[in-house]
Amino acid sequence: MAKHEFLSSEWITAAKAIQNTYSDQVAEAPLEVTMNLTVTDTPFQEGKVEAYLDARHGKLAIVLGQLESSDVTVTIDYETCKAVLIEGNGDAALQAFMTGKIAVEGDVAKLLAYQTTPPSALQLEITEKLKEITA
């Protein structure tokens, strides 16, 4: 299986294919949230990557671009974003927040509730598939 840099356009395409594979199996999300992400210090391009995480309608998607309106907007460095979203390392987010590496605007309570919601077995399986495509 080909590996791609996290959040590169190739990674987004491969991640969408994984999501589509599971689309008929995804259960209702325990908490629906939308989050615009501005990811800095990416290793594969100059500048930043703008993406959004959409956890509505029982699905989770990471898409390039920005939502016109989202519950929360997060500016985060690449390594921390990868640690949180791919490696499931919530401690990395907390540490980065405490040291100013993460800036949050919007519904912080909703973000914290989403982060502390335990993933389902299916979500863990999808995350494993995402790890397999991530360089």
- DSSP labels, 5-34: -TTSHHHHHHHHHHHHHTTTTPPPPSS-EE
Of residues 19 and 56, the one with the higher pLDDT is 19
Q: What gap in Å lies between CA 135 and CA 70, rounded to an integer?
A: 29
Of residues 113 and 39, the one with the higher pLDDT is 39
Mean pLDDT, residues 118-131: 86
Q: What gap in Å lies between CA 96 and CA 93, rounded to an integer?
A: 5
Domain boundaries, the chain: 27-133
- The CATH class that applies to domain 27-133 reads alpha beta
What pTM was computed for the model? 0.85
Tokens representing 44 are 């594969």
Of residues 94 and 77, the one with the higher pLDDT is 77
